[in-house]
Amino acid sequence: MYSKDILTGIFLAKAKGHISITKNEDLLIGYRTKLTLNIRGSALFLQGIERSLLQFGIQSKFSPQQNKSRPTPILVISGIKNIALVVHHLLVDLPDANDGLRDFKKAVRIVAESRHLRLEGLEELFKIKELI
């Protein structure tokens, strides 16, 4: 439905990266890291993006309502493999609308290289999280 160039424009204009770091005693380092890319818009627009991303092998999840307090449609891309594919194929080195994806791409690199499992990588993520 959408070409690669159109998807690149959509991600540069509409995508917002989110870094979640939660305490988890079951893990060796004591923290769980989760990265997500969120896009908000109309339901038809987001469903078109979801179908287009599948052509690149990128899984995403469309929800017609984010939650009860925020009843807007949302498309969520999670999982480091899916996010790394988005960064590799679609997020080129251009400035984005919110100026937050550059730092998010650094976080993706840290998690993709499994550096978040060591103290130095986790500290880098905390610094990046403050910037976003």
For each of the domains in the chain, give its residue range(s) and CATH number, in order of start: 4-131 (3.10.28.10)
Chunked in runs of 10, what are the mean pLDDT values of the chain (132 residues)? 92 93 78 93 96 94 89 95 92 80 92 90 90 60
pTM for this model (two decimals)? 0.87
Which strand ranges, in their side-by-side order, compose the sheet holding 31-40?
16-23, 31-40, 74-78, 61-63
Q: Judge contact between 20 and 34, C-beta under 8 A.
A: yes
Token look-up 């194929």 returns 89
How many CA within 13 A on the CB side of residue 12?
Answer: 14
Q: Find, among 13, 12, 30, the residue nearest to 22 by Cα.
A: 30
Nearest Cα residue to 80 out of 42, 46, 32? 32
pLDDT per residue as tens digits for the range 31-61: 889 999 999 999 999 999 999 999 999 999 9
